[in-house]
Structure 1
Amino acid sequence: MRNASIIHQKVYGRDALIRQVAVWKFLGKRIAFTNGVFDIVHHGHIYSLTQAAQEADILIVGINSDASVKRLNKGPERPINDQESRALLIASMIMVDAVVVFDEDTPYDLILSIMPDVLVKGGDYRVEQVVGHREVIENGGQVIINPIVEGYSTTSIVRRISQK
């Protein structure tokens, strides 16, 4: 059960994460942040998280709450997995150091609270479309866009399953 305890320790509430980030920064750690729904984890997610982790010493992943996913209009069946399950799955990954669930439509307030050194977004975004890009850059940080791994998306997986 030791490993399960370690995984749970990587899932933070917002206030606890802010305190932990202060410790990491005091220790001189470079912090990267990325976010997503991570409803059905696939090859594209793994690639993006692995790339994000290479950008810093610490990788924090923000996960949309169930209510936030509903507001994103990803479909009536979404999320398929609840926020606790999604958070634990991402926390179990070796490249992830911390996971936090956010309830807002975007992680803007969370990004301002932790002010990462690197803001990473996977997909077809441009830097200026990434929430918090301006503030992170003005604080001396950078924004990195990971390329999409073609053929992998949760929406397409859900569509394929529902057609069977």
Structure 2
Amino acid sequence: MSILLTRRGFAAFTLAAMLPFSLLTSTASAHGYKLGELEIGHPWSRETPAGAKVAGGYLTITNHGTEADRLIAVSSDISEKGEIHEMAVTNDVMTMRQLANGLEIAPGEKVELKPGSYHLMFMDLKTQPKQGEPFAATLSFEKSGEIEVEFVVNAMGDDPAHDHKDHSAH
């Protein structure tokens, strides 16, 4: 038995055959995590030049709960230590400081860690983050505990305005 397809029929057949694969791809590219009432969205970093001693880490944290929680620590095998930082501009002077008490995520709020704002610092790098080679890190929260996440490593010149909002939680 042979099947004869018109161009339109062939296109429909091809689309139907590819649909399951496209669903797998979109699920596989989802890059979010869930820890209790917290949702951690799209952890990412940038490739660093040879010899760099620090790397930044960026992500979003949404608190779907009724109580505040606090990001109190970050650690990774790529660095000797991790810190939570805030960058701010006051009177045209940019300052960066470690948040010694961590970063509060109020109930119902979403906090974005991004270049030029709140961010993570991986200090005294043991390994240079390289584009396309993700690395693991552990985020520690005051109430929710710990979760291991994977940071996608983008190119050095990655546009921080790149939209990562469509990534879903695990």
Tell me if both proteins adopt one fold, taking TM over 0.5 as the criterion.
Answer: no
Query: Which structure has greater helix proportion?
Result: 1
Q: Which protein shows a greater Rg?
A: 2
TM-score by length of structure 1 reads 0.25
